[in-house]
Protein backbone atom coordinates (compact mmCIF):
# COMPACT_ATOMS: atom_id res chain seq x y z
CA UNK A 1 0.00 0.00 0.00
CA UNK A 2 2.76 2.47 0.94
CA UNK A 3 4.63 1.68 -2.27
CA UNK A 4 1.45 2.37 -4.27
CA UNK A 5 0.96 5.73 -2.51
CA UNK A 6 4.60 6.68 -3.03
CA UNK A 7 4.46 5.75 -6.72
CA UNK A 8 1.23 7.63 -7.43
CA UNK A 9 1.78 10.82 -5.44
CA UNK A 10 1.99 14.06 -7.42
CA UNK A 11 5.41 15.05 -6.13
CA UNK A 12 8.94 13.68 -6.13
CA UNK A 13 10.70 13.57 -2.76
CA UNK A 14 14.48 13.70 -2.99
CA UNK A 15 17.24 13.80 -0.37
CA UNK A 16 20.90 14.53 -1.15
CA UNK A 17 24.00 15.01 0.97
CA UNK A 18 26.24 18.05 1.27
CA UNK A 19 28.15 17.23 -1.93
CA UNK A 20 24.94 16.85 -3.94
CA UNK A 21 24.80 13.04 -4.10
CA UNK A 22 21.27 11.61 -4.14
CA UNK A 23 20.76 9.30 -1.15
CA UNK A 24 16.96 8.87 -1.38
CA UNK A 25 14.31 9.46 -4.02
CA UNK A 26 10.64 8.46 -4.02
CA UNK A 27 9.17 5.88 -6.40
CA UNK A 28 7.08 8.63 -8.04
CA UNK A 29 10.19 9.68 -9.99
CA UNK A 30 9.59 6.76 -12.38
CA UNK A 31 6.09 7.98 -13.25
CA UNK A 32 6.97 11.68 -13.46
CA UNK A 33 10.50 11.66 -14.92
CA UNK A 34 10.77 8.16 -16.38
CA UNK A 35 13.79 7.07 -14.27
CA UNK A 36 13.93 4.07 -11.95
CA UNK A 37 15.20 4.78 -8.44
CA UNK A 38 18.24 2.59 -9.09
CA UNK A 39 19.28 4.84 -11.99
CA UNK A 40 19.43 7.92 -9.76
CA UNK A 41 20.72 6.81 -6.36
CA UNK A 42 24.37 7.72 -5.95
CA UNK A 43 24.31 10.26 -8.78
CA UNK A 44 24.29 14.05 -8.38
CA UNK A 45 21.12 16.14 -8.51
CA UNK A 46 22.68 18.74 -10.83
CA UNK A 47 23.00 16.10 -13.59
CA UNK A 48 19.22 16.22 -14.04
CA UNK A 49 18.64 19.99 -13.99
CA UNK A 50 18.10 21.26 -17.54
CA UNK A 51 19.35 24.84 -17.25
CA UNK A 52 22.82 25.77 -16.07
CA UNK A 53 21.66 29.06 -14.54
CA UNK A 54 19.21 27.13 -12.36
CA UNK A 55 22.05 24.91 -11.14
CA UNK A 56 23.95 28.06 -10.18
CA UNK A 57 20.90 29.53 -8.46
CA UNK A 58 20.26 26.45 -6.34
CA UNK A 59 23.93 26.12 -5.37
CA UNK A 60 24.21 29.76 -4.31
CA UNK A 61 21.07 29.49 -2.17
CA UNK A 62 21.92 26.32 -0.26
CA UNK A 63 23.32 28.30 2.65
CA UNK A 64 20.01 30.10 3.10
CA UNK A 65 18.34 26.80 3.92
CA UNK A 66 19.74 26.90 7.47
CA UNK A 67 17.08 29.30 8.70
CA UNK A 68 14.09 28.67 6.46
CA UNK A 69 12.68 26.68 3.60
CA UNK A 70 13.38 27.88 0.08
CA UNK A 71 10.94 27.73 -2.83
CA UNK A 72 12.11 28.08 -6.43
CA UNK A 73 11.42 26.82 -9.94
CA UNK A 74 13.67 24.11 -11.40
CA UNK A 75 13.45 22.55 -14.86
CA UNK A 76 14.24 18.83 -14.76
CA UNK A 77 15.30 16.51 -17.58
CA UNK A 78 12.83 13.72 -18.37
CA UNK A 79 14.36 10.42 -19.44
CA UNK A 80 12.70 10.68 -22.86
CA UNK A 81 14.46 14.01 -23.54
CA UNK A 82 11.61 16.32 -22.63
CA UNK A 83 11.69 18.80 -19.75
CA UNK A 84 9.45 19.05 -16.70
CA UNK A 85 9.11 22.39 -14.93
CA UNK A 86 8.88 21.82 -11.18
CA UNK A 87 8.18 23.89 -8.12
CA UNK A 88 10.89 22.91 -5.66
CA UNK A 89 10.51 23.33 -1.89
CA UNK A 90 13.80 22.61 -0.10
CA UNK A 91 15.01 22.49 3.47
CA UNK A 92 18.31 21.70 5.16
CA UNK A 93 18.23 18.93 7.79
CA UNK A 94 20.79 17.46 10.22
CA UNK A 95 21.29 13.85 11.18
CA UNK A 96 21.79 14.13 14.94
CA UNK A 97 23.50 10.74 15.16
CA UNK A 98 26.09 11.30 12.43
CA UNK A 99 26.09 15.13 12.47
CA UNK A 100 25.83 14.98 8.68
CA UNK A 101 24.04 17.69 6.65
CA UNK A 102 21.35 16.70 4.15
CA UNK A 103 18.92 18.55 1.90
CA UNK A 104 15.36 17.38 1.35
CA UNK A 105 13.21 18.67 -1.50
CA UNK A 106 9.76 18.07 -2.90
CA UNK A 107 9.38 18.58 -6.66
CA UNK A 108 5.88 19.33 -7.96
CA UNK A 109 5.14 19.21 -11.70
CA UNK A 110 3.92 22.68 -12.82
CA UNK A 111 4.66 22.32 -16.55
CA UNK A 112 1.03 22.89 -17.61
CA UNK A 113 0.74 25.94 -15.35
CA UNK A 114 3.89 27.45 -16.85
CA UNK A 115 2.58 26.91 -20.38
CA UNK A 116 -0.62 28.76 -19.44
CA UNK A 117 1.44 31.58 -17.97
CA UNK A 118 3.43 31.85 -21.20
CA UNK A 119 0.19 32.25 -23.16
CA UNK A 120 -0.86 35.04 -20.79
CA UNK A 121 2.49 36.78 -21.20
CA UNK A 122 2.20 36.62 -25.01
CA UNK A 123 -1.32 38.03 -24.82
CA UNK A 124 -0.19 40.88 -22.57
CA UNK A 125 2.74 41.65 -24.89
CA UNK A 126 0.39 42.16 -27.83
CA UNK A 127 -2.02 44.19 -25.70
CA UNK A 128 0.79 46.51 -24.61
CA UNK A 129 2.01 46.87 -28.21
CA UNK A 130 -1.49 47.92 -29.26
CA UNK A 131 -1.80 50.44 -26.45
CA UNK A 132 1.56 51.98 -27.37
CA UNK A 133 0.66 52.29 -31.06
CA UNK A 134 -1.12 55.67 -30.74
CA UNK A 135 1.80 57.30 -28.96
CA UNK A 136 4.30 55.79 -31.37
CA UNK A 137 2.31 57.03 -34.38
CA UNK A 138 2.55 60.54 -32.93
CA UNK A 139 6.30 60.09 -32.34
CA UNK A 140 6.86 59.01 -35.95
CA UNK A 141 4.66 61.75 -37.44
CA UNK A 142 6.88 64.55 -36.09
CA UNK A 143 10.12 63.39 -37.78
CA UNK A 144 8.22 62.68 -41.00
CA UNK A 145 6.91 66.26 -40.99
CA UNK A 146 10.47 67.56 -40.49
CA UNK A 147 11.86 65.40 -43.29
CA UNK A 148 9.09 66.50 -45.66
CA UNK A 149 9.80 70.16 -44.88
CA UNK A 150 13.53 69.85 -45.46
CA UNK A 151 12.99 68.00 -48.74
CA UNK A 152 10.70 70.80 -49.90
CA UNK A 153 13.38 73.36 -49.01
CA UNK A 154 16.03 71.42 -50.94
CA UNK A 155 13.64 71.12 -53.88
CA UNK A 156 13.19 74.89 -53.79
CA UNK A 157 16.95 75.33 -54.18
CA UNK A 158 17.96 76.37 -50.64
CA UNK A 159 21.76 76.17 -50.33
CA UNK A 160 22.07 74.37 -46.96
CA UNK A 161 21.76 70.84 -48.23
CA UNK A 162 24.50 69.26 -46.06
CA UNK A 163 22.98 70.63 -42.86
CA UNK A 164 19.52 69.46 -43.88
CA UNK A 165 20.80 66.00 -44.85
CA UNK A 166 22.33 65.61 -41.40
CA UNK A 167 19.08 66.58 -39.65
CA UNK A 168 17.05 64.25 -41.86
CA UNK A 169 19.36 61.30 -41.11
CA UNK A 170 18.98 61.99 -37.37
CA UNK A 171 15.18 62.04 -37.72
CA UNK A 172 15.21 58.77 -39.68
CA UNK A 173 17.38 57.16 -36.99
CA UNK A 174 14.82 58.22 -34.37
CA UNK A 175 12.06 56.47 -36.31
CA UNK A 176 14.22 53.37 -36.74
CA UNK A 177 14.81 53.22 -32.99
CA UNK A 178 11.11 53.54 -32.18
CA UNK A 179 9.92 50.97 -34.72
CA UNK A 180 12.67 48.56 -33.66
CA UNK A 181 11.50 48.74 -30.05
CA UNK A 182 7.87 48.18 -31.05
CA UNK A 183 8.83 45.16 -33.15
CA UNK A 184 10.99 43.88 -30.28
CA UNK A 185 8.16 43.79 -27.75
CA UNK A 186 5.85 42.22 -30.34
CA UNK A 187 8.18 39.26 -30.96
CA UNK A 188 7.21 35.81 -29.64
CA UNK A 189 8.79 34.81 -26.34
CA UNK A 190 12.17 33.14 -26.68
CA UNK A 191 13.22 32.46 -23.06
CA UNK A 192 16.81 33.12 -24.10
CA UNK A 193 18.65 34.24 -20.98
CA UNK A 194 22.06 35.86 -21.08
CA UNK A 195 23.93 38.65 -19.32
CA UNK A 196 22.24 41.93 -20.25
CA UNK A 197 23.03 45.58 -19.51
CA UNK A 198 20.39 47.15 -17.25
CA UNK A 199 21.32 50.57 -18.66
CA UNK A 200 20.49 49.48 -22.22
CA UNK A 201 17.12 47.99 -21.24
CA UNK A 202 16.09 51.01 -19.16
CA UNK A 203 17.02 53.48 -21.90
CA UNK A 204 15.24 51.44 -24.60
CA UNK A 205 12.03 51.49 -22.56
CA UNK A 206 12.41 55.20 -21.75
CA UNK A 207 12.77 55.97 -25.46
CA UNK A 208 9.63 53.99 -26.26
CA UNK A 209 7.45 55.69 -23.61
CA UNK A 210 8.87 59.23 -23.63
CA UNK A 211 6.21 60.54 -26.03
CA UNK A 212 3.28 59.17 -24.03
CA UNK A 213 4.79 60.72 -20.91
CA UNK A 214 5.28 64.09 -22.61
CA UNK A 215 1.63 64.18 -23.66
CA UNK A 216 0.81 64.37 -19.91
CA UNK A 217 3.74 66.74 -19.13
CA UNK A 218 5.62 63.95 -17.38
CA UNK A 219 9.39 63.65 -17.58
CA UNK A 220 11.11 60.27 -17.32
CA UNK A 221 14.37 60.65 -15.41
CA UNK A 222 17.06 57.96 -15.31
CA UNK A 223 19.41 58.27 -12.34
CA UNK A 224 22.85 57.53 -13.77
CA UNK A 225 25.38 56.04 -13.96
CA UNK A 226 24.02 52.50 -14.36
CA UNK A 227 26.70 49.83 -14.55
CA UNK A 228 24.79 46.73 -13.41
CA UNK A 229 24.06 43.66 -15.56
CA UNK A 230 21.58 40.87 -14.88
CA UNK A 231 21.20 37.36 -16.27
CA UNK A 232 17.82 37.51 -17.99
CA UNK A 233 15.66 37.28 -21.07
CA UNK A 234 15.84 40.89 -22.28
CA UNK A 235 12.45 40.75 -24.01
CA UNK A 236 10.66 39.65 -20.85
CA UNK A 237 12.34 42.13 -18.49
CA UNK A 238 11.68 45.00 -20.89
CA UNK A 239 8.03 43.91 -20.93
CA UNK A 240 7.96 44.23 -17.12
CA UNK A 241 9.58 47.68 -17.26
CA UNK A 242 7.17 48.84 -19.99
CA UNK A 243 4.21 47.65 -17.93
CA UNK A 244 5.36 49.42 -14.75
CA UNK A 245 6.29 52.68 -16.48
CA UNK A 246 3.03 52.71 -18.48
CA UNK A 247 1.12 52.19 -15.23
CA UNK A 248 3.06 55.07 -13.65
CA UNK A 249 2.19 57.40 -16.53
CA UNK A 250 -1.50 56.46 -16.30
CA UNK A 251 -1.49 56.93 -12.50
CA UNK A 252 -0.24 60.53 -12.69
CA UNK A 253 -2.94 63.11 -13.34
CA UNK A 254 -0.59 66.08 -12.94
CA UNK A 255 2.77 67.05 -14.40
CA UNK A 256 5.75 65.52 -12.64
CA UNK A 257 8.53 62.98 -12.83
CA UNK A 258 8.93 59.23 -13.13
CA UNK A 259 12.39 58.35 -11.85
CA UNK A 260 14.31 55.12 -12.40
CA UNK A 261 17.08 54.13 -9.99
CA UNK A 262 19.34 51.09 -10.13
CA UNK A 263 21.12 49.80 -7.01
CA UNK A 264 23.92 47.30 -7.54
CA UNK A 265 24.76 45.39 -4.34
CA UNK A 266 27.02 42.40 -3.68
CA UNK A 267 24.17 39.89 -3.88
CA UNK A 268 21.38 41.59 -5.85
CA UNK A 269 20.50 44.19 -8.47
CA UNK A 270 17.51 46.43 -7.73
CA UNK A 271 15.58 48.45 -10.33
CA UNK A 272 13.22 51.05 -8.82
CA UNK A 273 10.42 52.78 -10.76
CA UNK A 274 9.19 55.78 -8.73
CA UNK A 275 6.16 57.87 -9.76
CA UNK A 276 4.49 60.97 -8.33
CA UNK A 277 0.91 59.75 -8.55
CA UNK A 278 -1.63 59.57 -5.72
CA UNK A 279 -0.16 56.37 -4.28
CA UNK A 280 -1.93 53.08 -3.54
CA UNK A 281 -4.21 52.63 -0.50
CA UNK A 282 -2.51 50.42 2.10
CA UNK A 283 -5.51 48.08 2.29
CA UNK A 284 -5.14 47.03 -1.36
CA UNK A 285 -1.39 47.24 -1.95
CA UNK A 286 -0.96 43.52 -1.14
CA UNK A 287 -3.74 42.59 -3.57
CA UNK A 288 -1.89 43.93 -6.60
CA UNK A 289 -0.86 40.98 -8.70
CA UNK A 290 -3.95 38.91 -7.96
CA UNK A 291 -5.72 37.82 -11.17
CA UNK A 292 -8.28 40.38 -12.40
CA UNK A 293 -7.75 42.73 -9.44
CA UNK A 294 -7.23 46.25 -10.78
CA UNK A 295 -7.61 49.86 -9.67
CA UNK A 296 -8.20 51.07 -13.26
CA UNK A 297 -11.66 51.23 -14.83
CA UNK A 298 -10.53 49.62 -18.09
CA UNK A 299 -7.79 47.41 -16.60
CA UNK A 300 -7.69 43.62 -16.58
CA UNK A 301 -5.52 43.18 -13.50
CA UNK A 302 -3.20 40.86 -15.43
CA UNK A 303 -0.28 43.22 -15.97
CA UNK A 304 1.20 43.08 -12.45
CA UNK A 305 0.39 39.38 -12.14
CA UNK A 306 2.25 38.59 -15.37
CA UNK A 307 5.15 40.83 -14.33
CA UNK A 308 5.46 38.90 -11.07
CA UNK A 309 5.43 35.61 -12.97
CA UNK A 310 8.22 36.83 -15.25
CA UNK A 311 10.27 37.88 -12.24
CA UNK A 312 9.66 34.53 -10.57
CA UNK A 313 10.99 32.75 -13.66
CA UNK A 314 14.15 34.87 -13.22
CA UNK A 315 14.30 34.00 -9.50
CA UNK A 316 13.51 37.64 -8.78
CA UNK A 317 10.73 39.43 -6.93
CA UNK A 318 8.69 42.62 -6.90
CA UNK A 319 8.15 44.90 -3.91
CA UNK A 320 5.54 47.67 -3.92
CA UNK A 321 5.63 50.59 -1.50
CA UNK A 322 4.19 54.09 -1.17
CA UNK A 323 6.68 56.94 -1.07
CA UNK A 324 6.96 59.21 1.97
CA UNK A 325 5.86 62.29 0.05
CA UNK A 326 3.63 61.17 -2.78
CA UNK A 327 3.53 58.42 -5.34
CA UNK A 328 4.51 54.76 -5.45
CA UNK A 329 7.73 52.83 -5.93
CA UNK A 330 7.88 49.45 -7.66
CA UNK A 331 11.14 47.68 -6.84
CA UNK A 332 12.38 44.78 -8.96
CA UNK A 333 15.01 42.61 -7.25
CA UNK A 334 17.23 40.21 -9.20
CA UNK A 335 19.80 37.78 -7.78
CA UNK A 336 23.33 38.41 -8.92
CA UNK A 337 24.53 35.08 -10.28
CA UNK A 338 25.94 34.28 -13.66
CA UNK A 339 25.91 31.40 -16.07
CA UNK A 340 28.28 28.66 -15.02
CA UNK A 341 31.43 28.30 -17.09
CA UNK A 342 31.67 24.94 -18.88
For the chain, the domains span: 2-109, 114-335
Distance CA(73)–CA(86), nearest Å, equals 6
Average pLDDT score over residue span 8-27: 84
Distance CA(322)–CA(328), nearest Å, equals 4
Alpha-carbon Rg of the chain, whole angstroms? 25
Q: pLDDT tens digits for 224-248? A: 889 999 998 888 898 889 889 988 9
Reported confidence tier of residue 135, pLDDT bands at 50, 70, 90: low
261 beta partners: 272
Of 81, 68, 78, which Cα lies nearest the Cα of 107? 78
Average pLDDT score over residue span 174-179: 72
The CATH homologous superfamily to which domain 2-109 belongs is PAS domain (3.30.450.20)
Check if CATH label 3.20.170.30 holds for domain 114-335.
no
The region of weakest confidence among 15-24, 52-61, 164-173, 310-319 is 52-61
Reported confidence tier of residue 292, pLDDT bands at 50, 70, 90: very low
pLDDT score of 219: 93
* Percent of the chain whose predicted confidence (pLDDT) is above 90: 12
Reported confidence tier of residue 151, pLDDT bands at 50, 70, 90: confident
Average pLDDT score over residue span 12-26: 87
Tell me if the bond preceding 252 is cis, omega within 30° of 0.
no
Q: Under a CB-based contact definition with an 8 Å cutoff, are residues 198 and 272 in contact?
A: no
Across the chain, mean pLDDT equals 79
Average pLDDT score over residue span 59-75: 67
Amino acid sequence: MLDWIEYNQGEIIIIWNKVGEIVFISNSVERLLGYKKSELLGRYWREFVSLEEEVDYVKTHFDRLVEKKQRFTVTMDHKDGKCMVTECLSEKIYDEQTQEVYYVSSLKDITDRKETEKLLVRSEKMSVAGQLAAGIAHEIRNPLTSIKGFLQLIQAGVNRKEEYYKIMIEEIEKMEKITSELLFISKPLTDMKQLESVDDMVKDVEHLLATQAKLKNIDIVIAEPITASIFCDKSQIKQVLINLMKNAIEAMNEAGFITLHVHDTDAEVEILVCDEGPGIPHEIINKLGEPFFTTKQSGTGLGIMISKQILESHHGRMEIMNNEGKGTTFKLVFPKYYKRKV
